[in-house]
């Protein structure tokens, strides 16, 4: 799952990364947005039930839904 700041929310970490890249000579970077990335192994038998489960995890713990949005991909193993 990917947790990123909502559009329009100021991202000082991204700005810092952009500036650091600029110092290193990477000048073509127009914008950087930094987010969090989680890989979870879940003992869930079906993709149908895994979706609501992951939504619950994001809403309750992994994302601050006031300022952050999230999306996820489910991969069956």
Task: Report the interface residues with its own copies, using CB under 8 A.
Answer: 2-4, 14, 17, 20-21, 24, 26, 28-44, 53, 56-57, 60-62
Burial status of residue 54 (CB atoms within 10 A of its CB: 0-12, 13-18, 19 or more) = buried
**What are the phi and psi torsion angles at 53 (to 5°)?**
-60, -50
Q: How far is the CB of 66 from its own copies (least distance, A)?
A: 18
Q: Judged by CB, which is closer to its own copies: 32, or 74?
A: 32
For residues 16 and 7, the answer to whether their CB atoms sit within 8 Å is no
For residues 2 and 37, the answer to whether their CB atoms sit within 8 Å is yes
Q: Judged by CB, which is closer to its own copies: 27, or 66?
A: 27
Q: How far is the CB of 3 from its own copies (least distance, A)?
A: 8
Q: Judged by CB, which is closer to its own copies: 20, or 67?
A: 20
């Amino acid at each position: 799952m990917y947790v990123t700041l909502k559009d329009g929310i100021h991202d000082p970490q991204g700005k810092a990364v952009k500036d650091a890249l600029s110092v290193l000579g990477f000048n073509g970077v127009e914008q950087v947005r930094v987010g969090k990335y989680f890989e979870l192994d879940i003992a869930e038998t079906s993709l149908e039930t895994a979706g609501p489960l992951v939504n619950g995890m994001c809403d309750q713990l992994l994302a601050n839904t006031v300022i952050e949005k999230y999306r996820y991909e489910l991969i069956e193993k």
